[in-house]
Amino acid sequence: MIIDRQFRDKIGGMVTGKVLFDEPMSMHTSMGVGGKSDVLIFPDTVRELKRLVSFFLREEVPFLPVGNCTNLIVRDGGYRGVLISLEALRRLEIRGQNLPRKFTLKEKYAGSVCVYAQAGVSLSGIVEFSIRESLSGMEFCAGIPGSVGGGLKMNAGAWEEELKDVVKSVSILDTGAKTREIKRKDLPFEYRNLDLPEGTIITGADFHLIRGSRNEIQGKVSDIIAARREKHPLAYRSAGSVFKNPPGCPAGKMIEEAGLKGLRVGDAEISGKHGNFIVNMGNAKAGDVITIINTVQKKILSERGILLETELKIIGNEL
């Protein structure tokens, strides 16, 4: 992709947020690996996002939206095009601010509340907000890395609950750069996926939560965080669970039973604490992580006849 002064000036004039050129994605991904993106841009508003997408479509500039880069691997050869980060879209509010802030005891534990969160809001952020506002329904997201946009796209979940269970509607920028809202009944959720047309960008969502006891909500969140700390290798950089769980057996258990725990390539390693985590032990490269992924897939396919699918999104060029 050719980036001349005219191109720099044009996109720089479309946003108030940061515009970074030739940016190492290892500085932005949760695993700390990845080559350079030609451009990494941070629109501050949906209006800026719409303006950018319209321009890129018109000029046939390759682009891809990304969230907080917690489940993203950019190959070491980098990404030839524009990565649009939705990280700055962080509005989070209870819909209908004219409702009274104080409730009778009877009202406090009855009824539902609609919470709107833009795509860049972290899942941990919406959990913390729910605790402050005594709202139940998002506790299962405690400790899940990533943002609302990315979480919805992969239908993030844990403890037998998923985002599809609490979402009321999703706001998108469609493939023609038009904004619209999709109601829950029309959202094609699958296991670890929301099957939207390629090029669709999630800009936010309304969630249906229930008024509850702050102490009970906080207690449940604390229990979930404690369980994650016990099971997951949180001391090292990672992208969370690498593989989707196939029916019948968790991917991590398959990997452990195949004797792959501790497998290391460069500074990337399958965690000795959890088989479905690949951790960066220091200076891992994207290629190291991808080599481990390929090795695991071949081994499990050979032994069990199952091709493990990744939860991670892998983009970009080889070196």
**Residues labelled catalytic:** 192, 241, 311
Distance CA 53, CA 59 (A): 10
Structure tokens at 43: 């629109």
Give backbone dihedrals phi and psi of 162, rounded to 5 degrees, phi first: -140, 165
What span, in angstroms and rounded, lies between the C-alpha atoms of 47 and 233? Answer: 39
C-alpha–C-alpha distance, residues 11 and 109, integer Å = 49
Inter-residue contact 118 to 125 (CB < 8 Å): no
Please give the DSSP secondary-structure letter assigned to residue 172: E
Q: What tokens appear for 42 in the block?
A: 């941070």
CB atoms within 10 A of CB 12: 11
Per-residue buried b or exposed e for 257-285, using 16+ beta carbons within 10 Å of the residue's own CB: ebebbebebbbbbbbebbbbbbbbeeebb
Distance CA 310, CA 239 (A): 11
Buried b (16+ CB within 10 A) or exposed e, 174-205: eeebeeeebebeebebeebebebeeebbbbbb
The alpha carbons of the chain give a radius of gyration, in whole angstroms, of 20
- Measured between alpha carbons, how far is residue 246 from residues 109, 188, 258 in Å? 38, 19, 15
- Max CA separation in the chain (angstroms): 63
* Helix, strand, or coil (residue 36): strand
